[in-house]
Amino acid sequence: MDESVERVRALVHEAAAVTVLTGAGISTDSGIPDFRGPQGVWTRNPKAERMSDIRHYVNDPDVRRLAWQSRKTHPAWSAQPNNGHAALVELERSGRLVALLTQNIDGLHQRAGSTPEKVVELHGTVWWAECLGCGARTPMAEQLARVSDEDPDPSCLVCGGIQKSATVSFGQPLDPAVIDRAVDAARACDLFLAIGSSLTVQPAAGLCGVAVDGGARLVVVNAQPTPYDDLADVVLRGPIGELLPALARDLAPV
Ligand code: NAD
């Protein structure tokens, strides 16, 4: 096994409290493309970024119509968790996991078996729809069933407001309670693993700095360089689906 993988394996085995931050890269093996990787949604089609900006979404009915169409065919509906998600379940079972902070909206950590209470969805979830007017939440499937040529942009049945997935778009604030939980978890760990994220979206990426300031070691696992690599004790630049199972194998309980 590669020397740096052995080193991280030792760090994980020695750690008593591990906090994990995941990004889109952990779900690419499940068939959900990331945004900024070589096959990323925005790398291939820069215009798709408009759908993730709340200003365009609110002001442009065409953007909303396209967004509903793309939700109907979202790969999350049929995706299955992969070896990377499963390895993080093993980490939790070993008793080391403080929290699993995820920027992902696909729900795959919970479907893999991570305890829902341990998962902090920093950017929300695509499995629920939310009204921008009154905040009413409904299962996404109910709203997708309403989308048709006659009703390409279904409005809220409570107040008539604009609806979207219960995810955080650019221009929308994160839930302060969610940020507080994430910051607490970053401060409470002795090892912080940042996995499958370009670490370019704040405040999520900044959690690496919070953990290091709190005295934790930082390990970055990502195929491409990130702005936090210099701060990391070790950077593993390889496929998550192979690296995470190697790191979590034979973990003795703590
Ligand atoms: P990103 O697209 O900016 O970066 C993903 C990183 O993962 C890239 O640097 C890429 O090189 C790396 N990567 C991809 N597959 C990998 C693999 N198999 N092994 C190792 N590395 C791999 O993603 P981000 O940093 O999470 O930020 C994107 C934002 O978009 C997030 O806010 C997230 O909410 C959202 N998003 C979520 C999903 C999802 O839920 N699955 C998918 C796309 C985007």
The model's pLDDT over 21-58, given as tens digits with 9 standing for 90+, comes to 999 999 999 999 998 888 888 788 777 777 889 999 99
Task: Report how far ligand 1's centroid is from the alpha carbon of 181 (Å).
Answer: 22
In the block, which residue shows the tokens 């993730």? 52
Could you give the residue range(s) of every CATH 3.40.50.1220 domain in the chain? 1-32+81-123+174-249
Mean pLDDT of the chain: 96
Task: Report how far ligand 1's centroid is from the alpha carbon of 75 (Å).
Answer: 14
Kindly state the greatest CA–CA separation across the chain: 59
Architecture (CATH level 2) of domain 1-32+81-123+174-249: 3-Layer(aba) Sandwich (3.40)
Catalytic residue numbers, as ranges: 123
Task: Report how far ligand 1's centroid is from the alpha carbon of 240 (Å).
Answer: 11
For residue 126, which phi and psi values (nearest 5 degrees)?
Answer: -85, -5
Could you tell me the pTM of the whole model? 0.96
- Residue 112 makes CB contacts below 8 A (sequence gap 6+) with 81, 85, 86, 88, 89
Residue nearest to atom 32 of ligand 1 (CA): 103
Residue 203 · residue 175 · CB < 8 Å: no
Residue nearest to atom 13 of ligand 1 (CA): 25
User: For ligand 1, which residues put their CB under 6 angstroms from it?
Assistant: 23-25, 27-29, 32, 34-37, 40, 103-106, 123, 196-198, 200-201, 222-224, 239-241
pLDDT at 19: 99
Task: Report how far ligand 1's centroid is from the alpha carbon of 197 (Å).
Answer: 5
Cα–Cα distance measured from residue 48 to residue 64, given in angstroms and rounded to the nearest whole number: 12
pLDDT at 36: 83
What's the burial of 146, exposed, middle or buried (CB within 10 Å: 0-12/13-18/19+)?
Answer: middle
The C-alpha angle 181, 81, 120, rounded to 5 degrees, equals: 5
Could you give the residue range(s) of every CATH 3.30.1600.10 domain in the chain? 34-78+125-167
> Which residue blocks in the chain are alpha helix, DSSP H?
3-14, 41-44, 54-59, 61-72, 83-93, 108-112, 140-144, 176-187, 207-213, 240-248
Cα–Cα distance measured from residue 254 to residue 109, given in angstroms and rounded to the nearest whole number: 22
Q: Which of 34, 74, 88 to mutate to test the pocket of ligand 1 (most atoms within 8 A of CB)?
A: 34
Residue nearest to atom 16 of ligand 1 (CA): 25
Taking only the tens place, the pLDDT of each residue in 92-135 is 999 999 999 999 999 999 999 999 999 999 999 999 999 999 99
Please give the C-alpha separations between residue 84 and each of 22, 37, 69, in angstroms, as whole numbers.
10, 17, 29
Q: Is the pLDDT of residue 1 over 70?
A: no
Q: Which of 26, 27, 35 to mutate to test the pocket of ligand 1 (most atoms within 8 A of CB)?
A: 35
CATH of the structural domain 34-78+125-167, one choice from 3.40.50.300, 3.30.1600.10, 2.30.110.10, 3.40.309.10: 3.30.1600.10
